[in-house]
Amino acid sequence: MESLESSDLPPSNELSILVLTSSFPRSDGDYPGSFIQKSSEALTSRGMRVHVLCPADNVFSDYTPPGVSVTRFNYFFPKKYQMLAYRGGMTFNINNSKLAFLQLPFFLLSFLFQALGLSLHVNLLHANWLFPAGLVGVVCRILTRKPLIITIRGSDVNLAEGTMKKYFLRSIAYKADAIICVSKELKHKLLLWGLPPDFIRSFPDGVDLPNESFSRDHNSIIFIGRLAPEKRVEDLIEATEILSKNHIFHLKIAGDGPLKEKLFEQVTRIDGCVDTDFLGRIPRKEVPNLLSRSTIFVLPSTSEGLPDTLLIAMACGTPILGTRIPGIQQVIEEESTGLLVNPRSPRELARILEYMIEKPCLSKRLGLRAQRVAKHKYSRPKLNEKLISIYRQNICI
CB proximity list for 250: less than 8 A, separation 6 or greater: 217, 219, 220, 221, 275, 276, 277
Read off the pLDDT of each residue in 321-334 and give the average, rounded to a whole number: 93
The whole-number pLDDT of residue 60 equals 67
Please indicate, yes or no, whether residues 104 and 149 belong to a single structural domain of this protein. Answer: yes
Tell me whether strands 124-128 and 148-152 are parallel, antiparallel or unpaired: parallel
Please indicate, yes or no, whether residues 385 and 370 belong to a single structural domain of this protein. Answer: no
Single out the residue of 234, 217, 209 nearest to residue 296, CA to CA: 217
Cα separation values, 288 from 120, 224, 285, 311, 350, Å: 39, 11, 7, 10, 25
- In this structure, of 12-26, 148-162, 181-195, 363-377, the range with the lowest mean pLDDT score is 148-162
Domain that holds residue 184: 12-206+379-393
Is the pLDDT reported for residue 265 higher than 70? yes
User: How high does pLDDT run on average in the chain?
Assistant: 89
Confidence of residue 8 (pLDDT cuts 50, 70, 90): very low
**pTM attached to this predicted model:** 0.85
Rounded distance between C-alpha atoms, residue 156 and residue 23, angstroms: 13
**Residue pLDDT, tens place only, 55-75:** 999 876 678 999 999 999 999
Rounded distance between C-alpha atoms, residue 240 and residue 26, angstroms: 33
Please indicate, yes or no, whether residues 38 and 123 belong to a single structural domain of this protein. Answer: yes
Structural domain contains residue 215: no
Is the pLDDT reported for residue 335 higher than 90? yes
Residues 311 and 204 sit within 8 Å (Cβ to Cβ): yes
State how many domains the chain has: 2
Q: What angle do CA 255, 259, 265 make, to 5 degrees?
A: 105
The whole-number pLDDT of residue 162 equals 67
Please indicate, yes or no, whether residues 197 and 56 belong to a single structural domain of this protein. Answer: yes
Per-residue buried b or exposed e for 170-191, using 16+ beta carbons within 10 Å of the residue's own CB: bebbbbbbbbbbbbbbbbebbe
Q: What angle do CA 389, 395, 397 make, to 5 degrees?
A: 125
Give the three-state DSSP class for 327: helix
The whole-number pLDDT of residue 3 equals 41
CB proximity list for 272: less than 8 A, separation 6 or greater: none
DSSP character at residue 55? E
Structural domain contains residue 3: no
Query: Which residues is 73 bridged to in the sheet?
Result: 55
Please indicate, yes or no, whether residues 310 and 360 belong to a single structural domain of this protein. Answer: yes
- Find the length of the chain: 397
Structural domain contains residue 2: no
Please indicate, yes or no, whether residues 234 and 119 belong to a single structural domain of this protein. Answer: no
Structural domain contains residue 367: yes
Residues 338 and 366 sit within 8 Å (Cβ to Cβ): yes
Structural domain contains residue 1: no
The whole-number pLDDT of residue 291 equals 95
Rounded distance between C-alpha atoms, residue 170 and residue 108, angstroms: 19
Phi, psi of 51 (to 5 degrees): -120, 125
Please indicate, yes or no, whether residues 226 and 352 belong to a single structural domain of this protein. Answer: yes
Please indicate, yes or no, whether residues 308 and 323 belong to a single structural domain of this protein. Answer: yes
Please indicate, yes or no, whether residues 294 and 178 belong to a single structural domain of this protein. Answer: no
CATH number for the domain harbouring residue 267 = 3.40.50.2000
271 or 180, greater pLDDT = 180
Q: Is the dihedral of CA 185, 141, 198, 37 positive or negative?
A: negative
DSSP character at residue 147? -
The whole-number pLDDT of residue 140 equals 98
The whole-number pLDDT of residue 396 equals 54
Confidence of residue 366 (pLDDT cuts 50, 70, 90): very high
Rounded distance between C-alpha atoms, residue 39 and residue 26, angstroms: 16
Confidence of residue 2 (pLDDT cuts 50, 70, 90): very low
